[in-house]
């Protein structure tokens, strides 16, 4: 059943008539300031999408979803990224907030989004969702802060009913909404590292939490949510540098006020499909997030190549995005994890033995014919150089690129802290040649994510054949070329 992009979790209504599917990422161009992911609602009898639901603001990195026992609404956790502003600070959710959307399933009422963060403490990376058997408590795991939120649903409902309908969209930006009323939300310890999945026991109402990096399940008491037992899932796992690096990558505890983790913008170590105006390469020139898979082998980093290698990019990422000066040991662990994270070949356009199917093989011939292999030679499908391929946009021209460096001894631990910069001119019409491996999961395309599909890239944004000689290809040749690229 076709949905949108990267379906992750799903929930069935009690009557079994509708299936709700959380699409993790947006399928819209990154240049659209309203880009958003959404929930697909499928009629189980026809297996067709009947409607799509999203909150009042951008929903992104959608994870856990659950339907209330009465079937009247669904609860979806996700990030609410502020990608339309420069991430110059972190305080009060300046870059990312962590949200819960309440989706009515009866009638045409729009979803309402509330923030799980409070004024000075982020609820980094909500993941799993479960509802108590009596429908009174919603439990949300937070992989980034190693905790569980317990939300009193009757009190939340009263809070929403007191809010005028015309004011409810603004609740999506209110950090004090849930926390301003006593007893609506509280956070508890999970008893492990990297809590993700959560389930409620129908026998006694106890809460069961899967802890990824502890390789254990915590059992929490039904009323108090205190840890009652921890069940190991096997022999203790060694915390290798790579495993510790993956844990740090998904942890918001190393971020100022715990708003976000590396995984917030790089889910599954890849890209979130958004444009961010990072201070790495000047201001007012947003660039599309790039996957970190294979980054150790494909320097330089970022579209303008402003970071010489992956190691430098990791250090500066912690410093200027999480506002945290990372230790040498933690830096080494994250780098070890990124070096170990493998490319995963596309399961489509391949035969049973894993080799390219006939269409992809034809496309490989077109790939060479169109001159694509000059800049994208195998095995990494990049020559590690920068080129002007005619894709410079109006926000890229004549930009001052800044070399941002931390003042000696200064630690960026407050939202007001800023880095001193030494401006320098750089040709912003040339962009680093990215690897084509895993191209099937790194849309949207080009440095600013304007192309949602490869066909759009070659037909709409390559009119002068500066990005491969594609204008003279037949429809079949273009389809074959795309099939080959999506097979990598």
Rounded distance between C-alpha atoms, residue 171 and residue 195, angstroms: 27
pTM: 0.92
CATH, domain 345-392+429-488, list 1.10.760.10, 2.70.150.10, 2.40.50.100, 3.40.50.300:
1.10.760.10
Q: What pLDDT score does 400 carry?
A: 47
Q: pLDDT for 114-139, tens place per residue?
A: 999 999 999 999 999 999 999 999 99
Mean pLDDT of the chain: 91
Q: What pLDDT score does 428 carry?
A: 61
pLDDT at 405 over 50: no
Q: Using an 8 Å Cβ cutoff, are 466 and 343 in contact?
A: no
Least confident of 355-364, 421-430, 438-447: 421-430
Q: What pLDDT score does 424 carry?
A: 46
**C-alpha 119 chain-centroid distance:** 23
Q: Using an 8 Å Cβ cutoff, are 16 and 23 in contact?
A: no
Q: What residues contact residue 161 under an 8 Å CB cut-off, 6+ apart?
A: none
Q: pLDDT for 161-217, tens place per residue?
A: 999 999 999 999 999 999 999 999 999 999 999 999 999 999 999 999 999 999 999
Phi then psi dihedrals of residue 397, to 5 deg: -75, 140
Q: Class for domain 7-235, per CATH? A: mainly beta
Q: Which long-range contacts (CB under 8 A, 24 or more apart) does 42-47 make?
A: 42/1, 42/3, 42/18, 43/17, 43/18, 44/12, 44/16, 44/17, 44/18, 44/19, 45/17, 47/1
Domain ranges of the chain: 7-235, 345-392+429-488
Rounded distance between C-alpha atoms, residue 204 and residue 213, angstroms: 27
Q: What angle do CA 92, 94, 100 make, to 5 degrees?
A: 75
Rounded percentage of the chain residues whose pLDDT exceeds 90 = 83
Least confident of 94-98, 235-239, 357-361: 235-239
Q: pLDDT for 366-386, tens place per residue?
A: 999 999 999 999 999 999 999
Q: What's the rounded mean pLDDT across residues 433-439?
A: 96
Q: pLDDT for 8-35, tens place per residue?
A: 999 999 999 999 999 999 999 999 999 9
Rounded distance between C-alpha atoms, residue 250 and residue 279, angstroms: 22
Q: Which is more confident, 432 or 399?
A: 432
Using DSSP, state whether 320 is helix, strand or coil.
helix
420 burial via Cβ count (<10 Å: 0-12, 13-18, 19+): exposed
Q: What pLDDT score does 160 carry?
A: 95
Per DSSP, the residues of 275-309 read EE--TBTBSS--EE----TTTTTS-SBSTT--BSS
pLDDT at 326 over 80: yes
Residue 242: how many CB atoms within 10 A of its CB? 17
């Amino acid at each position: 059943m076709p949905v949108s992009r990267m379906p992750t979790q799903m929930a069935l209504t009690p009557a079994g008539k509708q299936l709700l599917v959380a699409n993790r990422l947006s399928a819209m161009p990154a240049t659209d300031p309203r880009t958003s992911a959404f929930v697909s609602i499928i009629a189980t009898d026809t297996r067709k999408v009947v409607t799509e639901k999203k909150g009042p603001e951008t929903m992104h990195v959608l994870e856990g979803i659950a339907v209330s026992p009465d079937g009247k609404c669904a609860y979806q956790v996700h990030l609410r990224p502020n990608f339309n502003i420069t991430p110059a600070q972190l305080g009060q959710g300046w870059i990312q907030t962590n949200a819960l959307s309440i989706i009515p399933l009866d009638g045409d009422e729009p979803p309402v989004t509330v923030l799980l963060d409070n004024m000075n403490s982020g609820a980094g990376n909500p993941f799993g969702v479960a509802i108590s058997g009596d429908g009174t408590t919603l439990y949300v795991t937070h992989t980034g802060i190693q905790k569980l939120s317990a939300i009193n649903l009757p009190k939340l409902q009263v809070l929403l009913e007191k809010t005028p309908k015309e004011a409810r969209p603004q609740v999506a930006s209110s950090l004090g909404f849930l926390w301003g009323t006593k007893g609506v939300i509280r956070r508890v310890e999970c008893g492990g590292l990297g809590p993700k999945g959560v389930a409620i026991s129908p026998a006694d109402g106890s809460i069961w939490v899967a802890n990824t990096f502890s390789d254990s399940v915590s059992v929490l008491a039904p009323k108090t949510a205190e840890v009652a037992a921890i069940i190991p899932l096997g022999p203790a796992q060694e915390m290798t540098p790579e495993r510790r690096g993956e844990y740090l990558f998904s942890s918001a505890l190393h971020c100022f006020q715990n708003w976000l983790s590396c995984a917030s913008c790089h889910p599954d170590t890849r890209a979130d499909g958004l444009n961010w105006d990072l201070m790495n390469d000047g201001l007012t020139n947003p660039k599309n997030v790039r996957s970190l898979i294979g980054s150790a082998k494909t320097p330089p980093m970022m579209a303008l190549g402003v970071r010489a290698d992956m190691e430098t990019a990791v250090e500066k990422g912690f410093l200027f995005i999480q506002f945290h000066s990372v230790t040498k040991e933690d830096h080494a662990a994250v780098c070890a994890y990124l070096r170990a994270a493998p490319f995963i070949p596309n399961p489509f356009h391949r035969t049973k033995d894993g080799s390219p199917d006939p269409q992809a093989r034809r496309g490989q011939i077109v790939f060479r014919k169109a001159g694509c292999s000059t800049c994208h030679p195998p095995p990494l499908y990049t020559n590690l150089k920068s080129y002007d391929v005619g894709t410079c946009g109006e926000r890229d021209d004549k930009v001052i690129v800044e070399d941002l460096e931390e003042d000696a001894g200064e630690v960026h631990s407050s939202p007001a802290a800023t880095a001193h910069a030494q401006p320098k001119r750089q040709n912003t019409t040339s962009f680093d040649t990215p690897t084509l491996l895993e191209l099937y999961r790194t849309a949207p395309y080009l440095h600013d994510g304007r192309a949602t599909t490869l066909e759009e890239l070659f037909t709409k944004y390559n009119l002068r054949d500066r990005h491969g000689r594609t204008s003279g290809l037949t429809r079949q040749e273009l389809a074959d070329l795309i099939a080959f690229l999506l097979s990598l």
